[in-house]
Chains A and B, each alone.
Chain A
Amino acid sequence: MKKRKNTVNRILEIILWICSIVTIYPILMVLLTSFKSKGEAAYLNISLPGEWHPENYVAVLEKDFVRSLGNSVFITLLSVVLITALSAFLSFIIARRDTKGCRITYKIITLGIIAPFTALPTIQLLQKLGMYGSRTGLCLVYAALYMPFTTMMLSGFIKGIPRELDEAAVMDGAVGWKLFVTVIFPLLKPALATTGVLNFMWVWNELQIPMYLLNSSAKWTLPLSVYNFYGQFSRSWNLVCADVVLVSLPVVIVYIFAQKWVIAGMTAGAVKG
């Protein structure tokens, strides 16, 4: 009986590895194509390059890649800090104060997960505020757009922290901001790391919103510059693939180092709802 089960598991394992070809094949194709000559790259297959061309990467790096990378890093970091800080304060008050007003606010905020991004009026508003096309303006819009999900997750975590801890700190005179820093923040760190990593990946990868809100190419983020690059060089798959590899590298690295938090966060988010 036990033996039969082992055989079944072996077979299933092999089937899973065969299915994973669907995942691996396109990625391998992109990696190999990025090292080919333009002519060879047009075939989009997984044969090894006849001649390796690492200079494809140099060509891509020379095309404003570094400037876009700088923009992406600045926008992503500022946005993640804003989203995390604002959502943490809001969740703290919503979860603990727990008045009728707080519950209504929570309902309105969660609607933000469902409602779509309204591009035109947002552009108009940013123009009125003198922030259209600025990186800071974009970061504030990200803060508003990603706050709902983060607030939902964080308030769930805060509700799980026993109120007795708050009461003990209040005895010692810690109220409001001080209570948050001394009691809630240390316990919230893992949750903050999780939402931080998730928001990092989402903001980093976003194409639609910067496309609407950044008008000059000097401020473009990486996905925007890659999209534009593809428009210019759609016949040179070797360069496009090198660009794809370079733009994906940061998220893949972050994922590898932060895998634990990403998975913990996704499952916690799904369980809590």
Chain B
Amino acid sequence: MPPYEKINSEVLSVSIESALNAALKVLHFGGSTVMADRTFRNIVSVDKVTKFDIMWRLDNLVVSYDSDGHTKTILKSVGSVGTNLILVSKVIEMSEAVRDGKVKVSEVDDELLKISESTPIHSHFIFILVAGLAAAFYSLFHHGSIESVLIVFASAVIGQTVRLQLQARDIRDSHITFICGLLSAGIASIFLHLGYGQVEIQTLIASLIYLVPGLLMINGFVDFTKQRYIFIGLQRMLNALFLFIILAFVIVTAYTFIKF
């Protein structure tokens, strides 16, 4: 007899639901599928739930398990995927606390709510400043002149400010990338067109380097290397490629404007 059949169906349902919610949070905050899976297994391990099937996808998560002789399936939408690796590590730590018996399974949803509502580690000002600095440093190590550095810093700062406003309005990532990319590269190209800075593709790339979907690509690669997550890995990589194509289109448009 498989171990799950010995578990009370209500306990089983709470355990699976809570674990699924925690795994969803990991994906929602930009964690890899390996991390989400580990979080899920940490929580269900408390009630010794070992027999279940999960289908990992970037749009929905599907879990099926047997309860009282019937197969139950839960489907939950992942929703928008953001980036907050600190919250990812908090969710994982919480799941480890559940596994070690420090937190009850029934308290998982409350803990997740607390984590979601915790104050962001960096203020908007820091995120804006760091986006500008990333652009400036990228330009510097590509031998950018001081003028170029100042141009890309200003472009990235303005672009990131708009990006944070758009993200707060829950607008799709591809739209944000296009709008902010066009804004940052547009500002940079106006200055370059007027004769300031170095007219090089590096200057334009630097102005929107903060939009490069690095984390999406990393998670895609990490998932892709594991056979179990190959599908979600592909989804992430295609998503990243799509954003890259948007950025390339923006750069080409800005470059054409400079040369006009």
Q: Do A and B bind each other?
A: no
Q: Which residues of A are at the interface with B, using a C-beta cutoff of 8 A?
A: none
